[in-house]
Amino acid sequence: MDLAEIFRVMRRRWYVLLPGLLLTVGLTVAVALLVPVTYQSQSTVVLLNSEKATMAYDGNPFLSTQTSLTGMADGLARSLNSDGSVRQLKSRGATGTFAAKLADNAQGPLMWLTVTGTDKTAVLASDKILTAYAKQRLDQFQQQQSVAPKAMIRMTTLVPPQNPVAQTKTRLEYLVMGGCLGLVLSLVAVFYVEARRRPQRSARPKEPAQPTAGEPVAEQTIALRQTPSWSRSTENRSAAEPRAGRPVVAVVPTAEPLDEESTHGQRSHTGQRDR
């Protein structure tokens, strides 16, 4: 089936295709209404070395980097993603979904603090709360270990919480999936109705098979019975006619010799008839 035939079937079964397309549009609109638009705000923070460790660099923390800071950043991100931290954030008025992780392709202790939600204003406020809470959580870790204030690791914000951005990828995927599903179901219904309504072609009668030389005698007899009578008589008549140029020889049957008793009976019967 080529493309032209497909369009002909769709045009012929428009009464099936049209309701399917209307249902597809309705499904797409329902997905657009039920799946809300989500917004996302993100901030970037970095861990810095302590004041005591930067004294050799005239107090510049960006000149003093240690691998232990990256490990501390990873531990802090795991703590911020825990259930206890989520409860603390919600008790401070934050809403939405929170995520803390090491920045992708980062060369140092950089962290991304992300908040996702459906309310644009609430998402921005929650990201600010998360950024402040991350700094407090870092200080709590070091205070629990009785670290001197001048030896504590510090945190600074490189990128403050950004204005929330609409995340349309997931919503668009749902819309495309709903539209494609409705279109496929409509086409399946169209071709199903076409197959049910299409008249079946009548089977052509089979011609009787002609016997061959290698077939048994019984099969040849059946084939001859199926041949019309006028055809057989024509064949017999043509076979009985002598071929041109050849003499016809009549075959006269010879009389069989009679025995003596049968000869005597015939003579007596002939004499009685003459009398």
* 113-118 mean pLDDT: 93
Structure-token pair, residue 72: 């501390």
Structure-token pair, residue 216: 């048994």
* 65-78 mean pLDDT: 86
Q: Is the pLDDT confidence value at 160 over 50? A: yes
Spatial distance between the Cα atoms of 269 and 216, rounded to a whole number of angstroms:
52
* 236-257 mean pLDDT: 48
- For the chain, the average pLDDT equals 77
Strand 38-48 versus strand 97-102 pairing type: unpaired
Q: Are 120 and 164 in contact (CB under 8 A)?
A: yes
User: How many angstroms separate the first and last alpha carbons of the chain?
Assistant: 100
pLDDT digits (tens, 9 = 90+) for 166-220: 887 777 888 888 888 888 888 888 888 888 877 654 445 555 555 555 545 455 4
